[in-house]
């Protein structure tokens, strides 16, 4: 279950909320009108999340290069003079 807090609790005891986010390595969602409004992330969690995104982007780029090489080798590349030529 996600960790939550209210805006009022955040105003009164922000340090406790920050400590909870850092200790659990999970986001704490701040509710406004009983709906999630923002998330507070500990710096370690944020950096881990950012690293995961970077690795996923790199893997996607490398995969695209492999697809390009395979399609080029098999004569499947589509060429055009404009973007309109490439849209099916």
Tokens 């492999």 map to which residue?
Answer: 66
The better pLDDT of the pair 26, 87 is held by: 26
Residue 87: pLDDT over 90: no
- Residue length of the chain: 88
pLDDT score at 83: 85
Contact by Cβ (8 Å): 29, 5: yes
Six token digits for residue 77: 């590349």
3 state SS of 35: strand
Measured CA to CA in angstroms, residue 77 lies from 62, 71, 74, 87, 88 at distances of 17, 6, 8, 13, 14
Q: Which residue has the tokens 């590349």?
A: 77
pLDDT digits (tens, 9 = 90+) for 23-80: 999 999 999 999 999 999 999 999 999 999 999 999 999 999 999 999 999 999 877 8
Confidence of residue 88 (pLDDT cuts 50, 70, 90): low
Tokens at 36, concatenated: 């999630």
pLDDT over 90 (residue 19):
yes
């Amino acid at each position: 279950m996600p960790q939550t807090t209210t805006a009022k609790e955040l105003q009164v005891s922000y340090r406790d909320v920050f400590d909870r986010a850092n200790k659990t390595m999970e986001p704490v969602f701040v509710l406004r009108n009983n709906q999630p409004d923002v998330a507070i992330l500990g710096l370690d969690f944020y950096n881990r999340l950012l690293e995961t995104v970077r690795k996923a982007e790199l893997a996607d780029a490398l995969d695209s290069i492999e697809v390009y090489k395979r399609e080029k080798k098999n004569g499947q590349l589509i060429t055009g003079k404009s973007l309109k030529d490439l849209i099916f």
